[in-house]
Every structure is written in C-alpha cells, then in structure tokens.
Amino acid sequence: MKEVLVLFRPRAVLVVIGIVLATAALLQILLVAKGVIIWVLIAAFLALALNPAVEWLQTHGFSRRGAAVGVTFLGAIGVIVAVGALFVPTLVDEVNNFINAVPDYVDDLTKGRGRLGFLERDYHIVERVREALSEGGATKILSSQLYGVKATDPWIFTGAALLLSLVAAAAGYIPARHAARVDPVNILRDE
C-alpha cells in the first residue's frame, strides 16, 4: 500500500480553529442568555399573534398602525386583567384556606396520620424537608436555573421586562413606519 502525505496550509488550519472557537463562543453566549432569548421569542410570538387584530382594526376605523397597535395592546391587557379579576379572588380565597389548614396538615404529617400521613410513614418526608431547607431550599433551586443571577435580583427581572416591552414596541413600530413611507396612490395604481 502506498503512503499518502496530506498537507494543510497554515491559513486553513487557522480558519478551522477560528470557526471552532467562534462556535464555542456563540454556544456559550446562547447558554448564558437563554432566559432572555426565551422571553424575546415569547414577545415576538405575542406580536405575531396580535397582528391579525391590528390589521383588522386598521381596516375598520384606525387608519394609523400605531393607533391600532395601541388599542390592540390595551385590549390584550384588558383581557388579561379581566381573566385575572375572575380567577384571582377565588385563588386568594383558596390560598387563605390552605394557609389556615397548613398547621393541621403539618401536625398530621409529623405524626403519620390523616391524608398525608403515608408520606411520613413510607417516605420519611419530614426529615427530607428539613435537609432540603438546611441546604438552601427553593432559593438554591432557582439560583441553579438562573446562571449568574440571584433568584431575588429585581434589576435583572426589570431589565428583562423592559427588553420584552422594547421588542414588542419595535415589532409594531418598524412595520408601521415602513407602511407610512409607502405612497398609497402608487400601491393602488399597481393593483
């Protein structure tokens, strides 16, 4: 068998190394920013989901897209508030009832009786809860999901909300500005 010698140019090797490093850097950036990217995608989805309502409003009384976007946004917020007004009082009442019943549940649980007694008898849940609380509890779990962010950091969550609002505003404003530059006479003449 004949031996084959393959030569690579240094430039080709450097290009491959550069591509691998750029890919690794991009993947690291995506990993760090995954939470923000998810919220941006949710905002884009909502902008696309509300677009038919905006277009309908434009054809039925609101000639300017910005006004139609504003009315649609306020309508969506109104629907969310109405749904909240329907469910929040019931939810608050149920949570208050649960809070009032928690001492009885804990007493039954620690003594291994009642509906939840099997958790202590079979799984020794009281000891496991005490261990989890001594190790950090829910704050530790939330912190592990938020890379480099504290679970109680208000600046990060405020910034994410502002970024989502800016993306939603841009999703409405940029097409509206483009549409405002188009001469309707030329569009009608072309059809």
Say yes or no to pLDDT of 22 above 90.
yes
Q: Which residues, at least 6 apart from 110, have a Cβ–Cβ distance to it below 8 Å?
A: 120, 126
Q: What is the pLDDT of residue 78?
A: 92
Nearest to 173 by CA among 102, 50, 69, 44: 69
Q: What is the pLDDT of residue 138?
A: 65
pLDDT, mean of residues 131-138: 73
Q: What is the pLDDT of residue 106?
A: 81
Say yes or no to pLDDT of 145 above 90.
no
Q: What is the pLDDT of residue 20?
A: 94
Confidence of residue 173 (pLDDT cuts 50, 70, 90): confident
Say yes or no to pLDDT of 18 above 90.
yes
Buried-state track 74-97, b at ≥16 Cβ within 10 A, e below 16: eeeeeeeeeeeeeeeeeeeeeeee
pTM of the model: 0.40
Residue 137: alpha-carbon gap to chain centroid = 23
Q: What is the pLDDT of residue 120?
A: 81
Q: What is the pLDDT of residue 5?
A: 78
**Percent of the chain topping pLDDT 90:** 16
Query: Quick count: other Cβ atoms within 10 Å of Cβ 70?
Result: 15
Residue 90: alpha-carbon gap to chain centroid = 26
Tokens encoding 7: 């030569």
Say yes or no to pLDDT of 86 above 80.
yes
- Domain limits of the chain? 33-176
Query: Quick count: other Cβ atoms within 10 Å of Cβ 44?
Result: 15
